């Protein structure tokens, strides 16, 4: 039984690395797409373009953070991904004042947790 668990653990690690490889490919494609979008900036609707471009940039950043989380799965990496995902929602979506307040409180809680984890590591 112990041997089976070790084999499954190795297999899950291999799957994580394969997933990380696909995330790298997706991030590279996203970066290329961002670069190509800059060439075709519409002069008539720049506000909408900037909003769309920021959304795309944040998706690439979340992909990078997700990759870091796959390669180094610890609480700090997970908290960073959550912070980016939550803040992206507030920046990209049209949200109400109450939703913004919930996002701000959520980010504050995540940052406090991150700080507490750092303090625990230094002890």
- Whether 123 shows a pLDDT value over 80: the answer reads no
- CA neighbor of 76 nearest in space, from 31, 18, 16, 122: 122
- What's the whole-number average pLDDT of the chain? 86
Residue-wise pLDDT tens digits, 17-76: 898 899 999 999 999 988 888 887 777 777 788 888 888 888 888 888 888 888 888 888
Specify the pTM: 0.72
Rg (CA), the chain: 19
Burial of 63 per CB tally in 10 Å (0-12, 13-18, 19+): buried
Position 105 pLDDT exceeds 90: yes
């Amino acid at each position: 039984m112990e041997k089976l668990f070790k084999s499954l653990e190795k297999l899950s690690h291999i799957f994580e690395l394969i997933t990380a490889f696909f995330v790298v490919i997706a991030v590279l494609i996203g970066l290329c797409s961002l670069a190509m979008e800059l060439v075709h900036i519409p002069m008539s609707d720049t506000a909408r373009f900037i909003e769309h471009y920021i959304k795309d940039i944040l998706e690439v950043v979340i992909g990078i953070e997700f990759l870091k989380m796959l390669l180094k799965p610890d609480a700090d990496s997970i908290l960073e991904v959550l912070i980016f995902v939550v803040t992206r929602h507030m920046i990209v979506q049209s949200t109400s004042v109450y939703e913004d307040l919930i996002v701000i409180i959520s980010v504050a809680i995540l940052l406090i947790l991150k700080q507490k984890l750092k303090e625990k590591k230094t002890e």
